């Protein structure tokens, strides 16, 4: 029995990886259908982004490998840090403070066992 893996990546998403990690922990190691269902009803912005990447991975599995969605399981999801945009905000007495606008690279890996 070989295990087939399918992958989808969203890069340069304008959200902090720290916020995405909270969402990821809720859906890891679940069947794809249940994971998508959970993500759909979460109110966070990160849930929408992860759901979109997961749907892309499912589409890759169906189009490229003819895998049935019922056999797919979420093997791993990662949110790595992308480039950080540096901005500044004016403060009192002519000073300025840095604002870091972080970005993420979200990777979804699905797997299905083939006989």
State pLDDT tens for residues 69-87: 898 999 999 999 999 999 9
Q: What is the pTM for the complete model shown?
A: 0.89
DSSP string, 80-115: EE---EEEEEE-GGG-EEEEEE--EEEEEEEEEEE-
Domains of the chain plus CATH, in order, are 2-114 (3.90.470.10)
Q: What local confidence, expressed as pLDDT, does residue 3 receive? A: 82
């Amino acid at each position: 029995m070989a295990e087939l893996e399918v992958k989808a990546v969203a890069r340069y998403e304008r959200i902090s990886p720290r916020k995405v990690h909270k969402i990821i922990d809720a859906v890891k190691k679940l069947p794809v259908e249940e994971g998508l269902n959970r993500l759909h009803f979460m109110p966070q912005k990160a849930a929408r982004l992860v759901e979109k990447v997961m749907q892309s991975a499912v589409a890759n599995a169906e189009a490229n490998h003819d895998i049935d969605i019922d056999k797919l399981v979420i093997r791993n999801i990662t949110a790595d840090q992308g480039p950080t945009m540096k901005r500044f905000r004016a403060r009192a007495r002519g000073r300025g403070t840095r604002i870091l606008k972080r970005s993420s690279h979200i990777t979804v890996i699905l797997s299905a066992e083939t006989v």
